Amino acid sequence: MRPGAWPAAPEALAVPVVDNHTHLDFPAGDGPLDVAAHLAAAAAVGVDRLVQIGCELDSAAWTAEQVDLHPQLLGGVALHPNEAPLHAAGTHESGVGYDEAFSRIAELARHPRIRVVGETGLDYFRTGDEGREAQVRSFRDHIALAKELDLVLQIHDRDAHADVLDVLERDGAPARTVFHCFSGDAGMARLCGERGYYLSFAGPVTFKNGHALRAALAVTDLDRVLVETDAPFLTPHPHRGAPNAPYLIPLTLRVIADVLGVSEERACEAVSETSNDLYGPW
Ligand SMILES: [Zn+2]
């Protein structure tokens, strides 16, 4: 297959589910799909609704427009943990400083179809020590915003498990807190369960070397589990290396059902119900 070619569509799910986290604005694949094409391809396999995440200024503004155009979409907005330090240091290509950038996000978050503050959190993989203080400050600002507006918090945690958990504990997590693309082990999954957090699993749970993630999933209650693509990244097995899109959710959902020892239908129903509980109807 050509490197940018879109994988074949998997068999449709019997019960519809929500893609809990996707980026439809990132160009991907040969002949990038427009939003309507993404939504149609997703609906054809039973992915009837999506949460579109815009985590830098342009993308957040775009997200707030798209949720008005497409009833299948809800949105999330934030300054990504790798963006916030650039705004804070005055080195962001937009020339916008941190305070102004955050206040634009806070404004967009008031849109009735923006139901998520995220993705926000800590990323020690792509941002070095010099950006930590700005990341923590931005994370805390986003936590406060989610609580103020009673929105769901979606967390990005890359190589920063202990500090993310610590900030949440110290500031008090919003009532509905989701770890997007959960990447912790079984011990962390148990701790998240005790604290009432939700875990959203993406393509890596399907990877051949994803044993630790499957072990984490195995100790998580079904009603705390969500599924996402994080498209166009993290394409599930057996299509690693190809571009990712919401229509590939069934591949990840089936692995989740398998690991939890429930039927595909039961897993889909639970994910849909949890999505409705978290985000409200749309
Ligand atoms: Zn993402």
Express each pLDDT in 100-132 by its tens digit.
Answer: 999 999 999 999 999 999 999 999 999 999 999
- How confident is the model over 91-96, as a mean pLDDT? 96
Residue 151 is part of a domain; what is its CATH number? 3.20.20.140
CA 80 – CA 66 distance, rounded (Å): 19
Q: How far is the CA of 241 from the centre of ligand 1 (A)?
A: 17
pLDDT at 2: 72
Is 2 inside any structural domain? no
The residue behind tokens 């962390």 is 188
- How confident is the model over 66-82, as a mean pLDDT? 97
Q: How far is the CA of 21 from the centre of ligand 1 (A)?
A: 6
User: Which residues neighbour 135 within 8 Å (Cβ) at sequence distance 6 or greater?
Assistant: 81, 84, 85, 122, 123, 127
CA 22 – CA 16 distance, rounded (Å): 17
Give the CB-side neighbour count of residue 270, counting CA atoms within 13 A: 20
CA 81 – CA 131 distance, rounded (Å): 9
- Tokens representing residue 80 in the block: 């990504």
pLDDT at 1: 63
Is 43 inside any structural domain? yes
The residue behind tokens 């993290």 is 234
pLDDT at 265: 97
Distances (CA, A) of 242 to 2, 89, 248: 9, 35, 11
Looking at the structure of the chain, the number of domains it has is 1
Is 203 inside any structural domain? yes
Is 3 inside any structural domain? no
Q: How far is the CA of 23 from the centre of ligand 1 (A)?
A: 7
Is 5 inside any structural domain? no
User: Which DSSP helix (H) or strand (E) runs through 147?
Assistant: helix 132-149
Is 12 inside any structural domain? no
Is 11 inside any structural domain? no
DSSP string, 107-133: HHTTSTTEEEEEEEEEETTTS-GGGHH
Q: How far is the CA of 38 from the centre of ligand 1 (A)?
A: 16
Q: What is the pLDDT of residues 241-253, one digit of tens each?
A: 999 999 999 999 9
The range of the structural domain enclosing residue 166 comes to 17-279
* Most distant CA atoms of the chain, gap in Å: 51
The secondary structure of residue 104, as a DSSP letter, is H
Is 4 inside any structural domain? no
CA 63 – CA 24 distance, rounded (Å): 9
CA 120 – CA 79 distance, rounded (Å): 7
Q: How far is the CA of 153 from the centre of ligand 1 (A)?
A: 13
CA 213 – CA 179 distance, rounded (Å): 13
**Ion ligand 1: protein residues whose beta carbon lies under 5 Å:** 230
Report whether pLDDT(192) > 70: yes
pLDDT at 177: 98
Q: How far is the CA of 187 from the centre of ligand 1 (A)?
A: 23
- How confident is the model over 250-279, as a mean pLDDT? 98
SS3 157: strand
Cα pseudo-dihedral 189, 195, 200, 202, rounded to 10:
-20
